[in-house]
Chains A and B, each alone.
Chain A
Amino acid sequence: MGPATPRHAARPVDASMSLLNEVMYRPLDPEYAEAARSPAPPATGARRAAQVVLTLALATVLGLVTVSAVSSLRTPQPSAVQARALLEKEIDERSSAADRLQADIQGMSEEIAQLQTSALAEEDPGLFLLLQQAELHSGAVSVAGPGLVIELDDGEEDEDDPRGSLDHQVQDVDLQIVTNGLWAAGAEAIAVNGRRLTALSAIRSAGQAILVGPSPLIAPYRIEAIGEVRTMQTSFARSSAAAHLGFISGTYGIETSITATTSLELSGAGSTTLRHARALPDVASSDAPDKEGSS
């Protein structure tokens, strides 16, 4: 290169090209060439030392700033990951807390049942019997006895189906039909995957999941029904529910099985909420008038 600043041969035809030319053909700051052409007079002694220190300090600061900028530009992802981990941890904590509370409820309802038994059994055996019957039918207490177990499991997915339909999966309707068939066949207590059904339980679907009450279930589904095994078996086999089971296993490949067992144990549905109360005429008369008098 003869002249210090390399000039491109083709002169800009238009003045507006100067910016592009500047950027394209002279990317290096011209100061470098200038400094090389006229080197600064060699400094001596203290002045030179000060220059070195200043240069070093400034360069160190610049390097530090640049690297910290780069590293902070690379960090946003970890914060997202952190948030996710935090959420996961929170979900775990809340779930275990819910489990603990559920266990508490179970323990307390057992305690209440015991207290009720000891208090009521002596005072009013007739009422106690009534209560026991009611609790049994409402699913509030755990029960044990012989019964039927019906198992349903999702069939194989149809690979050729372009729509990716969910026909091969057990639907909420299937469980509804089977449980209704069991009730009709004389079942006294039913549980699906360990969730006791009561008069207020709903079996429904949310998205792809089947919910019994508020809790989602995962296949395979195990429906346990306590009752008189022989009569239940025969009348269930004659019902439309059995026909439906045959239909879904034949059409959609859903695996079904019905087995009779001599001992099943179903847990209670947990706490019962008082929705309606009426004072019994003979019991209420003992203390109600006193209260009315005092108020």
Chain B
Amino acid sequence: MIAVLGLIIGALVGLALEPTVPVALQPYLPIAVVAALDALFGGLRALLDGTFDDRVFLVSFLSNVVVAALIVFLGDQLGVGTQLSTGVVVVLGIRIFSNAAAIRRHLFRA
């Protein structure tokens, strides 16, 4: 729960300060945001399952974002950045959908 609280505080600070992201990091942002979404949905599902854990949530969030950015970086270096990004988005998208379906089942019993 502390992790969620921290996330919300960070989000509010970000909205208030509107910090600018360095140009060098710009290419990694879209994938990183999708990875963060995946971690968020996973955390929400775990919360509804009753298995939520601050440590696991933070670690999965952090590793998701870092790995996603790394994959894009690696793809760019190898010249397959677009294809790799597409692959990552497909996998993360399927995960998000499955988690969203589980959350829906939890909330609406349908």
Interface residues of chain A, those whose CB is within 8 Å of chain B, are 23-25, 27-29, 31-33, 35-36, 40, 52, 55-73
A52 B65 Cβ-Cβ under 8 A: no
A28 B42 Cβ-Cβ under 8 A: yes
- 9 more contacts with CB within 8 A, not counting A27-B102, A31-B56, A66-B10, are A23-B98, A55-B58, A58-B6, A59-B3, A60-B6, A61-B10, A64-B11, A69-B21, A69-B29
A73 B29 Cβ-Cβ under 8 A: yes
Q: Given A55-B2, A59-B4, A67–B11 Cβ distance below 8 Å?
A: yes
Render B39-65 as a binary contact track against A, CB cut-off 8 A, 1 for contact.
Answer: 000100110011111111011111001
B53 A35 Cβ-Cβ under 8 A: yes
Q: Which residues of the partner chain B approach A67 to less than 8 Å between Cβ atoms?
A: 10-11, 14-15
User: Which B residue's beta carbon lies closest to that of A23?
Assistant: B94
Q: Compute the total of residue contacts between A and B using a CB distance below 8 Å.
A: 133
Q: Which residues of the partner chain A approach B94 to less than 8 Å between Cβ atoms?
A: 23-24, 27
Interface residues of chain B, those whose CB is within 8 Å of chain A, are 2-11, 13-15, 18-21, 26, 29-30, 32-33, 36, 42, 45-46, 49-56, 58-62, 65, 91, 94-96, 98-99, 102
B29 A63 Cβ-Cβ under 8 A: no
Q: Which residues of the partner chain A approach B58 to less than 8 Å between Cβ atoms?
A: 55, 58-59, 62
The 8 Å CB contact of A32, one of B6, B10, B49, B95, is B49
